């Protein structure tokens, strides 16, 4: 079975985002209501078709990350927005059982108490059957005005995550900083920055079962693994394998073969989860290979031995996301 740990509802109906824009501008209209048929029209020719073509059985699915927009509205409005987006993800998962597993957007806001996110996390996990959450380490939208993820202000959220036994994917939203393009810089900067925060702190001494997934191959982490090993040594931290790799995992949203080769050589196979972020950051065909940039399955299969592939394609995801359902494998087309 192949589990893609990184999918977003990037094809949600346009009216959803139109309503959010009105909400940000102070609008008070009721949110849009969509029929099941409308949701099917957004999923079947897009994510579901791509999954089937590429032989992916299950996608861990969350609202569109760039649209979380935590910096664009007050906490109360972000809570309303998060509930709406999470409910749509839940409906998609119910329409296609065994093909999508929900991960929730949290109602974060600059300066807001992370504890205020706990009710929505609980609702999504306990009532909607979600398997994790997306955690924005910079709800200011590129200003990095808040405390690092190792700060104790985050602890109430972590306590709930541990109790519920769900991980968080570390994922910023859109950038409000013109110096940092959202997908080309802000995302990758955040991945790298959070790894360094965790390296410099002792978070997992307080939360030994807390689990984070750092997406996009970890940003600069694999490329600068020697730098991080040296910094850990200079800061008096334990070796990275002991200090972080029991709690921190990385996905394969890296869009060329040399990048995946580096990721899989530097990091243990037990810390890598398969992902493609289809209909996400990079669409289109690579003229050098003739294949889609985000067709990461072919890169991973070329980089790993069969025994490692089982862990990366399925086993690691089930360990990190223990609430994942165990459906009957879906018959999919042979990947070519």
Cα–Cα distance measured from residue 9 to residue 183, given in angstroms and rounded to the nearest whole number: 16
Tell me how far apart the alpha carbons of residues 201 and 150 are, in angstroms, rounded to a whole number: 6
Structure tokens given for 217: 């191959």
Exactly one of 79, 120, 277, 314 is catalytic; name it: 277
Instruction: With CA atoms as reference, report the closest residue to 221 among 202, 187, 193, 185.
Output: 193
Rounded Cα distance, 159 and 257, in Å: 38
**CA-to-CA distance for 96 and 45, rounded, in angstroms?**
13
Largest CA distance in the chain: 57
Structure token pair of residue 113: 């108490």
- CA separation, residue 289 to residues 70, 259, 285, 299 (Å): 37, 14, 8, 11
Which residue's structure tokens are 């119910």?
A: 94
Query: Is 277 labeled as catalytic in the residue annotation?
Result: yes
State the catalytic residues.
277
């Amino acid at each position: 079975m192949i589990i893609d740990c990184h999918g977003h509802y990037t094809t949600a109906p346009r009216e959803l985002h139109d309503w959010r824009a009105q909400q940000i501008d102070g609008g008070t209209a009721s949110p849009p209501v969509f029929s099941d048929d409308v949701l099917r029209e957004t999923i079947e020719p897009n994510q579901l078709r791509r999954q089937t073509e590429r032989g992916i059985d299950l996608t861990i699915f969350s609202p569109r990350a760039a649209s979380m927009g935590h910096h664009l509205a007050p906490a109360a409005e972000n809570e309303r927005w998060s509930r709406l987006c999470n409910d749509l993800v839940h409906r998609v998962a119910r329409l296609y059982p065994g093909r999508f597993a929900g991960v929730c957007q949290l109602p974060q806001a600059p300066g807001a108490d992370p504890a205020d996110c706990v009710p929505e996390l609980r609702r999504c996990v306990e009532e909607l059957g979600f398997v994790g959450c997306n955690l924005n380490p910079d709800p200011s939208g590129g200003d990095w005005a808040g405390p690092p993820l190792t700060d104790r202000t985050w602890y109430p959220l972590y306590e709930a995550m541990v109790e519920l036994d769900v991980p968080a994917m570390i994922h910023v939203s859109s950038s409000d900083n013109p110096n940092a393009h959202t997908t080309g810089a802000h995302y990758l900067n955040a991945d790298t920055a959070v790894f360094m925060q965790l390296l410099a702190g002792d978070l997992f001494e307080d939360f030994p079962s807390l689990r984070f997934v750092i997406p996009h191959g970890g940003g600069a982490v694999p490329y600068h693994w020697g730098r991080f090993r040296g910094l850990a040594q200079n800061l008096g931290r334990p070796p990275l394998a002991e200090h972080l790799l029991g709690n921190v995992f990385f996905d394969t949203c890296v869009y060329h073969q040399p990048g995946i080769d580096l990721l899989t050589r530097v990091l243990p196979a037990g810390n890598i989860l398969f992902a493609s972020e289809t209909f996400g950051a990079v669409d289109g065909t690579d003229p050098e290979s003739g294949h889609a940039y985000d067709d990461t399955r072919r890169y991973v299969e070329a980089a790993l031995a069969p025994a490692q592939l089982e862990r990366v394609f399925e086993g690691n995801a089930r360990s990190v996301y223990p609430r994942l359902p165990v459906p009957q494998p879906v018959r999919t087309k042979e990947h070519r």
